[in-house]
Chains A and B, each alone.
Chain A
Amino acid sequence: MPRLGWQRHIAAVIVALACTIAAAVALTFPPLSGRVVDQANIISADVRSAIEVKLGDLEAKSGIQLVVATVASLEGQEIEPYANELFRHWQLGQKDKNNGVLLLVAPKEHRVRIEVGYGLEGTLTDALSKVIITNAITPRFKDGDFSGGISRGVDDIITALTTDASEWQARPALRLDFQPTDKMINLLIAFIVIAIITGMIISPGFRWFMLNVMIDILLSAATSGSSSSSGGGGGFSGGGGSSGGGGASGSW
């Protein structure tokens, strides 16, 4: 029994490893080189720079990361899972708000999708995404006007996201309300330090506890520190947001 048991476990490890590798090589994504990633090369230069300015403005105003991507191929995948995995790979939107949107165009497969991050599902609904695709995007794509369709689609998405302004305009005010003053923070820190020192003087048990805590903190900082460097490179990068498949798709 023990021998067979260990063999089974080894087999399980191998299977698990194989799964991870299979999942990792399943799809190859273009790098997130900017707000417009035109791998399929279908957007004209002037439209592209105009869109980039609009997308930059949107993020500066509302924090929403809207990215336009065109891919040469979906690699045999349907556009829905491809868009979701690409969205998560790029981590569009802020981590705590999940306020990213991806407009994905696959000219080879004649498919287009608006993938909406968790945090914007209530603003840019599935029905609204569908309306934008069928009214603004696909009619122009049918005539071969990719630049025009994408440009109009971006305009409509931005309108949809910013018209309900009450949602994002209210946020800075809320944040200000809850900002404690420096004095309060200093007082709080002083209080905690005094409490810890007193505890360490009075109780030897507490002393050991604190030592333990400190070593644990150091250890976890050492192990997690290496993995915390994200994106970088000085350019544009995702903010850690995720998507659960909201949005809509269309074809032409």
Chain B
Amino acid sequence: MTSSSLSRLRAGLIAVLLGLTVSACGYNTIPTAEEQAKAKWADVQNNYQRRADLIPNLVATVQGFAKQEREVLTGVVEARAKATQVKIDVSQLSDPEKLKQFQDAQNQLSGALGRLLAVSERYPELKSNQNFLALQSQLEGTENRIAVARRDYIEAVRVYNTTLKTFPGLLWAATFFRNNKPMAEFAANEGAQTPPQVKF
């Protein structure tokens, strides 16, 4: 065996070893968990958007039967406008302030929607309107999807943050993934445990 083929063998062995260590010791865990959490966040945002998309139709339907409830109706329209303005880019997920802003805007919309549905109880004709019933069940379904998406996101963030803080992810976080910050946790307050009930 010549010396050149020996050194080639050694270089090859090192390459194999390096490849094995890197994939076996969880080099991929951090990016995988990060992408997972980001995807779950997209679900959360999509479901909130879906709720926002239902509102114009709902407001129009209620308006047809209960024009005098102007205050409640404009409350919903304004809260919706505010909520759709606050969008979070996936790169901002580590910013608790931004997340709180999003949360507050959506909570306000939830409150306004709750008032609208409470008010609609007073109008028997509206309550038995087919279009209104369909919208209500869609809204109910969307609230439930939001709850599920939030639960999934909270879990994905927990996994990602734990990976960053525990062995062996800790080592990768300290070396190759120094820019990866833990993601802000969604306060598991209203809606996270039990979906808001839309009674009718």
Contacts and interface: CB of A to CB of B under 8 A. Distances in A.
A245 B162 CA distance: 26
B147 A80 contact: yes
Interface in A158-201: none
Interface stretch (A43-51, A141-149, A208-216): A208-216
Contact of A246 (B11, B141, B158): B141
Interface string B2-36: 00000010011001100110011000000000000
A215 B166 contact: no
Contacts of B137: 126-127, 129-131, 248
B195 interface: yes
A81 B167 contact: no
B147 to A, nearest CB: 7
A130 B144 CA distance: 14
Tell me if B's interface is mostly helix, strand, loop or mixed: helix
B166 A244 contact: no
A202 interface: no
Interface string B143-168: 01101110100010010001001110
A190 to B, nearest CB: 28
Interface residues of A, number: 32
Interface residues of B, number: 33
B147 A245 contact: yes
B15 A212 contact: yes
A208 B12 contact: yes
Contacts of A241: none
A215 B142 CA distance: 47
Given A127-B137, A129-B137, A208 B167 contact: no
Interface stretch (A8-16, A28-36, A52-60, A232-240): A8-16
Contacts of A207: 12
Nearest to B167: A9
A81 B165 contact: no
A238 B194 CA distance: 26
A25 interface: no
B142 to A, nearest CB: 8
B162 A212 contact: no
A9 B145 contact: no
Contact of B43 (A81, A125, A244): A244
B171 to A, nearest CB: 11
A249 B196 CA distance: 13
19 contacts: A19-B158, A78-B194, A81-B194, A126-B142, A204-B8, A208-B11, A208-B12, A216-B19, A219-B20, A219-B23, A244-B43, A244-B148, A244-B149, A245-B141, A245-B147, A245-B149, A245-B195, A246-B145, A247-B144
Interface of A: 9, 12-13, 16, 19, 23, 78, 80-81, 84, 125-127, 129-131, 204, 207-208, 211-212, 215-216, 219-220, 243-249
Interface of B: 8, 11-12, 15-16, 19-20, 23-24, 43, 133-134, 137-138, 140-142, 144-145, 147-149, 151, 155, 158, 162, 165-167, 170, 193-195
